[in-house]
Structure 1
Amino acid sequence: MTLAKTQRLTRDAWIGTGLAALASDGPEALRAEPLARRLGATKGSFYWHFDDLPAYHAALIETWEQAETARITETLAAEETDPSRLRRLAQIIAEDPARDGAAVEPAMRAWALGHAGAQAAVARLDAARLDRLGALLRSVGVGNPEMARIIHAAGLGMAALAPDARGDAPGAIGSLVDLILALR
């Protein structure tokens, strides 16, 4: 037997594969059999790590939400000023990190239209982003609370565009933030 055949898949491998499958093929791909085929494994391996599909879906959603929250916290910690934090947060929203060449956040948002767990996670992430955007805007002297929603919506729209239509989404959303800062 080769090492690949004797090596056990981890829970993280199933989660990563699920996020990639969600991004590329939608929520229909989030079933044990298609995921096992994608990994070259058996459904038994899936059920070794997860009690059932709802438990797997919950783990997938939780992992995505935690990763997005951590990405914001870690990236903003590296910035030195509130204007640079504001600009970088807007860019984070616009630049959904891809898995297997497909953007995860638009797929998660689409799944959230019919899945309560995904919907709750998206709502929590949106609330956290809006809170952070609002706080940063207030700290730089922009008092209009709607500006946080405008920046958030513009970033989401850019991330949701087809890959060839996104262009330089982080650069474009950065320009929007620069304009808002110049007009304050």
Structure 2
Amino acid sequence: MIARRRPRLTRDDWLMTGLTALCEGGPGTLGAEPLARRVGATKGSFYWHFDDVPGFHAALLSLWQTDAETALLTADGATDTARLRATAQTIADSTTSNSPALRSEPAIRAWAQGNDLAAGVVAGVDEIRLARLNDLLAACGIGNPEMARILYASATGMQALQDTARDTAATAIGSLVDLILALR
């Protein structure tokens, strides 16, 4: 009988497994042993790609941060109003993104409640997103920085909704953008 060799796990395989584990079971599932059990591999495979568990956590958070920042760059439009709408909708609708990292944002945010590294990364992404929204609102004639905070809080809050209306987040946040712009 010939034993079939399983393909070697890549760094990306471990990161995707980590995102899935985080979403399904929380940060307690992000250790080398639970992840190795999940994929049916040895811890040695994990440590081949990551120096230690904190290094894995940093890589996981870096993946989310990179995807979140890249998504802002792709939220484009012909006018400042269109860019504002696209940016807000991209944030609100991240849980339906093609990016597994962006889809994990509610779990990343929950992790950040009890983890300083995750909290720092989330705070950095929040700062970048808020600055982008504030700049776009200012370009549209809305100078009150609290409007960016309200818009951002609404967008990230929509990610946390655990109901069937998730697929309408982009439409709902678009309506909020229209309401804010009507205040000009």
- Per the normalisation by structure 2, the TM-score is 0.90
Unmatched 5+ residue regions in structure 2? none
What's 1:72 paired with?
72
The superposition leaves residues 143-163 of structure 1 with CA deviations (integer Å, 9 ceiling, x where unpaired) of 111000000000111111104
CA distance in 1, matches of 2:107, 2:14: 17
Alignment partner of 1:96 out of 94, 99, 109: 94
- Superposition deviation, residue 11 in structure 1: 0.6
The answer (yes or no) to whether the contact 2:22–2:29 under 8 Å persists in 1 is: yes
Paired residue for 2:81?
Answer: 83
How many Å separate the matches in 2 of 1:52 and 1:39?
A: 18
CA RMSD of aligned residues (A): 1.8
Q: Structure 1, residues 120-139: CA drift from partner, whole Å, max 9, x if none?
A: 00000000000000000000
Shift in Å at residue 165 of structure 1?
A: 4.6
Q: Could you tell me which residue of structure 2 aligns to residue 119 of structure 1?
A: 119
1:62 positional shift: 0.9
Query: Taking every aligned residue pair, what percent have the same amino acid on both sides?
Result: 54
- Residue type matched to 1:86 in 2? L
Aligned residues: 179
Match of 2:108 in 1: 108
- The amino acid of 1:91's aligned partner reads Q
The amino acid across from 2:145 in the alignment is: P
Q: How does 1:1-184 map to 2 (within 5 A)?
A: 1-2=3-4, 5=6, 7-76=7-76, 79-97=77-95, 103-166=103-166, 168-184=168-184
TM-score (norm 1): 0.90
Report if aligned partners of 2:130, 2:149 keep a CA contact under 8 Å in 1.
Answer: yes
Checking the alignment, whether the CA contact within 8 Å between 2:130 and 2:152 is kept in structure 1 is yes
When structure 1 is superposed on structure 2, of 132-141 and 162-171 the one drifting more is 162-171
